[in-house]
Amino acid sequence: MKVGVAKETAAGERRVALVPEALGKLTAAGLEILVETGAGTASAFPDAAYQEAGATIVDTAGLYGGADVVLKVAKPSPEEATRLRSGQAVVGFLQPLIDPGLARTLADRGVTAISLDAIPRTLSRAQTMDALSSQANVGGYKAVLIAANAYPRYFPLLTTAAGTAKPANVLILGIGVAGLQAIGTAKRLGAIVHAYDVRPETREQAESLGAKFVKLKTTIDATGAGGYARELTPEERAAQQAELNEVIGGMDVVITTAQVPGRKPPVLVTAEAVGKMKPGSVLVDMAASALGGNVELSQVGETTNTPNGVTIIAPDNLPASMPAGASAFYARNISALLLGMVKDGALHLDFEDEVTKSTVISHGGAILSDAVRKLLEPAPPAAGGAA
């Protein structure tokens, strides 16, 4: 079976699905690796490094024409989707719940679509395949570095002959994978770290990394399914907001990471809260996307300077800003997923297996994911409409 590593084409996407050091395990399993020319250049892996690791370098037509399985990071662009053909498989962050139309296109073309963002995250066997976690980890680390770079003072307490610098107060909102990495990184830079989440079990996790957990008077337990948070009720949101506004006003740096699966990220930092922050304070909104973010004033992909001197940064693809490190983790995740689906050197899909069942979105011309099929159903006619 031929496994192809495609060159990413999305704007700003510098990662690559496989790095040279990950090739050995795949070739040992009898797989032949094709790499699209220049696929690893933006993440500091030249074609020669893949060749030395046993891959064949091919052009775009050779990659899509020759590979049985195409490995990607970002979902295929409309043009890439038209290059994929019946019987071929594509693996990557396909985002079927955000872009169900792509799943439809791939199913119609007879492509087997395997989505890394659908890995069952609570299954311990799937931890090595959990690319959402590995990339969130990179994001949490980079968010702190970006904040420290934009912050006009020191993060650590520093005593020098020229005086003493006070340590920065850093608040991390959302203590999932990215938030925990952000706590650890800000702590290592010497900041006083505070953290808050609506899932009570995160308190111990944050404290074990040296953060002070922000305890609001309003008790909210928003633990949802699969370890994720549920959406707050409007009353909970209002109570949380009023208290958080006060806390945010006293912080020098706030990094937000809060997500609720399948929903628009909750707004945690309102324009009013930003108005209470001191000049020079920095906000990094990791949840910002086209859907919106955790910071009311953030603009995805932009840095905004407010009239009261606060810098709001809303990066749109943090893992891509550390492409070699992020790709190395991603390569291990995608290799583990692929190898779990290979038998005797060929793709063998066992739909009794929980990972296969969750991640294979389309196969044999059909959409297999119930959630995606539901999103594609035509909307029911509006009640009370003309017969």
Please confirm, yes or no, whether 252 is among the known catalytic residues: no
Pairing of strands 158-160, 360-363: unpaired
Q: Which is nearer to ligand NAD, 255 or 368 (CB)?
A: 255
Q: Which of 203, 247, 243 is nearest to 223 (CA)?
A: 203
Report in angstroms how near the CB of residue 224 gets to ligand NAD at its nearest: 8
What does the block give as tokens for 279? 């000049």
What does the block give as tokens for 201? 């079990």
Task: Please identify which residue in 2, 25, 104, 121 interacts with ligand NAD, judged by CB under 6 A.
Answer: 121
Catalytic: which of 95, 108, 121, 316? 121
Please confirm, yes or no, whether 153 is among the known catalytic residues: no
Dist. CA 250–CA 259, nearest whole Å: 24
Task: Please identify which residue in 4, 92, 96, 266 interacts with ligand NAD, judged by CB under 6 A.
Answer: 266
Give residues 82-111 in contact with ligand NAD (rule: CB under 6 A): none
Catalytic: which of 77, 95, 127, 299? 127
Give residues 207-236 in contact with ligand NAD (rule: CB under 6 A): 227-229, 232
Binding letters toward ligand NAD, positions 4-33, x by CB under 6 A: ------------------------------
Report in angstroms how near the CB of residue 353 gets to ligand NAD at its nearest: 17
Report in angstroms how near the CB of residue 125 gets to ligand NAD at its nearest: 10
Q: Which is nearer to ligand NAD, 204 or 377 (CB)?
A: 204
In terms of residues, how long is the chain? 387
Helix axes 131-150, 323-339, angle to 10 degrees: 170
Please confirm, yes or no, whether 85 is among the known catalytic residues: no
Stretch that binds ligand NAD, among 15-23, 124-132, 301-309, 314-322 (CB under 6 A): 124-132
Please confirm, yes or no, whether 125 is among the known catalytic residues: no
Q: Quick check: 316 and 12 in contact, CB under 8 A?
A: yes
Binding letters toward ligand NAD, positions 231-260, x by CB under 6 A: -x------------------------xxxx
Please confirm, yes or no, whether 121 is among the known catalytic residues: yes
Task: Please identify which residue in 19, 114, 175, 355 interacts with ligand NAD, judged by CB under 6 A.
Answer: 175
Dist. CA 82–CA 87, nearest whole Å: 14
What are the Cα distances from residue 224, in Å, to 70, 161, 187, 374? Answer: 34, 52, 28, 21
Beta strands in the chain (DSSP E): 2-5, 32-36, 56-58, 69-74, 89-93, 112-115, 158-160, 163-165, 169-173, 192-196, 212-213, 253-256, 282-285, 303-305, 311-313, 342-343, 346-347, 360-363, 366-367
Binding letters toward ligand NAD, positions 344-373, x by CB under 6 A: ------------------------------
Q: Could you give the residue numbers annotated as active site?
A: 121, 127, 130, 133, 228
Q: Which residues bind ligand NAD (CB under 6 A)?
A: 121-122, 127, 130, 132-133, 136, 173-179, 196-199, 202, 227-229, 232, 257-261, 266, 268
